[in-house]
Amino acid sequence: MHLSLGFSPCPNDTFIFDAMVNNKIDTGGLTFDTALEDVETLNKWALEGKLAITKLSFALYLKVKEQYNLLNSGSALGRGCGPLLIAKKAIAPEDVKNCRIAIPGDNTTANLLFSIAFPEAKNKQVMVFSEIESAVLDGRADVGVIIHENRFTYQQKGLVKIIDLGEFWESTTGSPIPLGGIFIRKDVPEAVQQQVDTLIHDSLQYAYKGYPQLSDYVKQHAQEMDEQVMRQHIDLYVNDFSLGLGEEGHAAVGTLMEKGLKR
């Protein structure tokens, strides 16, 4: 059976899916047509039901739950891994509502976490996540919500942290931070859904066997990132929750859904 599959080119996703999509493990007859795209592009496609299997921001879950099921494996969820709000100079949190804010997509979990922390802040500009640091530096935005590898690079560019949105979430809810998950369209046969879930788990276990060595697939899609940043990225976003959400992970996703409904 041939299935369309979308995930980001970031090291955490390519690390997880490498063995599964490049025939390093037995896929039981399943083959995959992969699309590596920014998560906000994947979010938009999911609203159209475009891909059979896709990485999505958990913030979008409520909008696609009639079409997609959440798989147990492959998620980015944890502690100390949330988005950061950054600026060129220190800004008091109470002044953020008056700023021009760059966000990595309307439907991203980063935007939802920002909105929970700063409900009065409305002047938002959507940008590709990799452009947000530059937008703050050149004055197109006053503050920016950064995700992915930008957590490791903003200080090198002279930017400062205003608030760690993940820390805010953890301190107010006690839950780990649910960033993104792997979803499968409900029209895929249930047995195949379970097979895909197991394959993602097995693909990640395969990747761990060779770690900290990085495969060519991970390095190929990491653009200009150096290998140390790739490993920091994987260490931050790939963990036991990626192998299986479990009770704690599913509870965290449920808490995020409740918060999202109250926005």
- Nearest 5°: the CA angle 166, 232, 156 is 80
Q: What phi, psi does 133 have (nearest 5°)?
A: -55, -45
> 194 Cβ partners below 8 Å, 6+ apart?
none
Q: Does 110 belong to an annotated binding site?
A: yes
Q: Does 55 belong to an annotated binding site?
A: yes
Q: Does 56 belong to an annotated binding site?
A: yes
Sheet holding 160-164, edge to edge: 124-126, 101-103, 143-146, 84-87, 160-164
Active-site residue 148, yes or no?
yes
Catalytic residue among 2, 148, 233, 250: 148
Q: Which residues are annotated as a binding site for substrate?
A: 55-57, 109-110
Which active-site residues does the annotation give?
Answer: 148
Q: Which residues are annotated as a binding site?
A: 55-57, 109-110
